[in-house]
Homo-oligomer: A and B are copies of this chain.
Amino acid sequence: MKLTILGCYAATPRTFTNPTSQLLEIKNRFFLIDCGEGTQVQLRKNKIKFSKINQIFISHLHGDHFYGLIGLISTFSLLNRNNDLHIYGPKGIKEIILLQLRLSNSWPNFGLHFYELESKESELIYEDDKVQVKTIPLKHRVYTNGFLFEEKIAERKLNVEAVRHYQIEKCYFQNIKNGKDIVLDGGTVVLNNLLTFDPEKPKSYAFCSDTVYNEAIVPIINGVDVLYHEATFLQSEEQLAAKTMHTTAIEAATIAKKAQVSKLILGHYSTRYSTIDLFKAEAATIFPNVLLADDGLSFDL
């Protein structure tokens, strides 16, 4: 699981900082999360192949989280994309994109599928054989979701020496990997745990931006490996955070602690701060394992 931060600053794109977008690589799927203005250039700078992206998740309809989407879709078209593209985001996103495609008379030559979200409860919105994605309802000035990416429990790993020892034929291997016991020709039952090792623990990643401090998300993200949580402000701007429905670094760390996550990554910094070091210092007073996102940084998780 690898996370590439394309942009992690709030509000406006600037010369050296970008609004929210990140690429999550998980089990060879490439999920784009949010798509602020300039995301396609950030993808180029980070040498990410455009054609690998098939799913885009948009948290909410504030510009710093989606103004780059229409441009990215148009560029997909110009690059003669064939693969279908699936977009998950708040109700209204389809109308915004289709209106612009219609008025520019540039309908894409690939399938464009929208999954509009309006539920206030966590829901499963994407699933394949290895990964699933659920929404994390957040509280912000407009309808907003975070996203929980979870690997599914993989099949058990074959103990090659053991199956050889019991002279088990290949045609039974898939059953064994699925957890089944085996009955030998003489009637002896060999328990599955003699024939397999535990699979790798499935990993999970939770993206939570933008939101006011909201303990209601704790049960949903409980125990995730990595939590990305917005921290727009430092403690000195606590009042402003509440007023604008954002979170401070200390509040983000409190959520991380209550949800017993393994790692916390902070981002969505207000552009008022000349350095982001204090975000880590403040969060670390509550929760030890804090990392700071920054544009162009990659995390191997």
Q: Interface on A for B, CB 8 Å cutoff?
A: 11-15, 37-38, 40-41, 44-45, 61-63, 67-68, 70-71, 74-75, 78, 90, 92, 95-96, 99-100, 103-106, 141-142
Contact = CB atoms under 8 A, between A and B. Distances in A.
A142 B102 CA distance: 11
A280 to B, nearest CB: 26
A40 B106 CA distance: 24
Given A15-B41, A62-B106, A96-B103, 4 more contacts: A14-B44, A15-B44, A63-B106, A95-B99
Contacts of A38: 13, 37-38, 41
B13 A104 contact: no
A28 B142 CA distance: 40
Given A63-B70, A71-B63, A142 B104 contact: yes
The 8 A-B pairs with the shortest beta carbon distances in the complex, nearest first, are A92-B103, A63-B74, A37-B71, A12-B75, A67-B71, A61-B104, A61-B103, A105-B142
A96 B97 CA distance: 9
28 contacts: A12-B40, A12-B71, A12-B74, A12-B78, A13-B38, A13-B40, A13-B71, A14-B41, A14-B44, A15-B41, A37-B37, A37-B40, A37-B71, A38-B41, A61-B104, A62-B106, A63-B70, A63-B71, A63-B106, A67-B74, A90-B103, A95-B103, A96-B100, A96-B103, A99-B99, A103-B142, A104-B142, A105-B142
Contacts of A75: 11-12
Contact of A104 (B44, B63, B95): B63
Contacts of A106: 62-63
Contacts of A71: 12-13, 37, 63, 67
Nearest to A271: B78
Contacts of A15: 41, 44-45
A68 B38 CA distance: 9
A103 to B, nearest CB: 4
A79 B291 CA distance: 30
A70 B99 CA distance: 14
Contact of A11 (B12, B63, B78, B99): B78
Contacts of A90: 103
A64 to B, nearest CB: 8
A78 B38 CA distance: 18
A194 to B, nearest CB: 55
A208 to B, nearest CB: 19
Contacts of A13: 38, 40-41, 71
